[in-house]
Structure 1
């Protein structure tokens, strides 16, 4: 029989990783889907063409939303995993850094879509999410390595 003991505040890390991050993903999807109709980009096409973007500003906005959503989907799974692993040793710190990641990702989304800056350059508003993601990775590695060394 294997017994796993979780730290007292682990629920905070779980709440962010398995609650808040998926909700942000849902918001991404809703925004992207809403902009698709205005952009006149039919399924199964993922992006508006250059010609569509020249004719319709909403097409460019849709492309920015689609790219922000894709970038989120590329990064969310590892961030969720890092939060859960780091939370085994540092639950409150992992939850806090992960919450910061969510706020920065929301700023990234907002800036990418609604800033009005060309080529989605408004995304830089939340671009520091990489620092939070790196911190979670570091906490995960440090926590696991520390336990492995102690054996």
Structure 2
């Protein structure tokens, strides 16, 4: 049997990993869904065509929202896991990095969808989420390695 002891302040880690990160996913989905009708992209199509984007600025905005959401989904699960695992050893740092990731992902979403910059280049304002995600990965590896060495 393996016992996992969580630190006293692990609640903040759970709040970020299982609260704030999934809530941001819900927001992504709502924004993308709300832009679909104006973009005139019927289900089951995921994106507007290049021709549709040339004719309708809302189609380009929908594509930006859809891509921001897809990128979010590509990174969300590993960030949740990194936050939860790193938080076992470093709860305050993991919660802080997870919260920074959520903040930068929010800026990324806003910049991608609402900045009005061509090709969604406003997303670059929030691209520092990569730093927070990398730091969470590093903290996870460091914490796990430290545990393995102490066995």
TM-score normalised over the length of structure 1: 0.98
After superposing on structure 2, the runs of 4+ consecutive aligned residues of structure 1 that deviate more than 3 Å are: none
1:83: how far off? 0.0
Give runs of aligned pairs for residues 107-146 of structure 1, distance below 5 A.
107-146=107-146
Q: Specify the SS of the correspondent of 1:135.
A: helix
Over the aligned positions, Cα root-mean-square deviation in angstroms equals 0.7
For the residues of structure 1 that align with 2:29 and 2:4, how far apart are their CA atoms?
Answer: 35
For the residues of structure 2 that align with 1:3 and 1:31, how far apart are their CA atoms?
Answer: 41
1:68 aligns with 2:57: no
1:105 aligns with 2:127: no
**What residue is the counterpart of 2:82 in the other structure?**
82
Alpha-carbon deviations, 1:15-40, whole Å to 9, x = none?
Answer: 10000000000000000000000000
Q: Specify the SS of the correspondent of 1:88.
A: helix
Alpha-carbon deviations, 1:102-132, whole Å to 9, x = none?
Answer: 0000000000000010000000010010000
TM-score normalised over the length of structure 2: 0.98
1:17 aligns with 2:24: no
**What residue is the counterpart of 1:37 in the other structure?**
37
Q: Which runs of 5+ in 1 are unaligned?
A: none
For the residues of structure 1 that align with 2:35 and 2:3, how far apart are their CA atoms?
Answer: 48
Q: Which runs of 5+ in 2 are unaligned?
A: none
Q: How many residues align?
A: 151
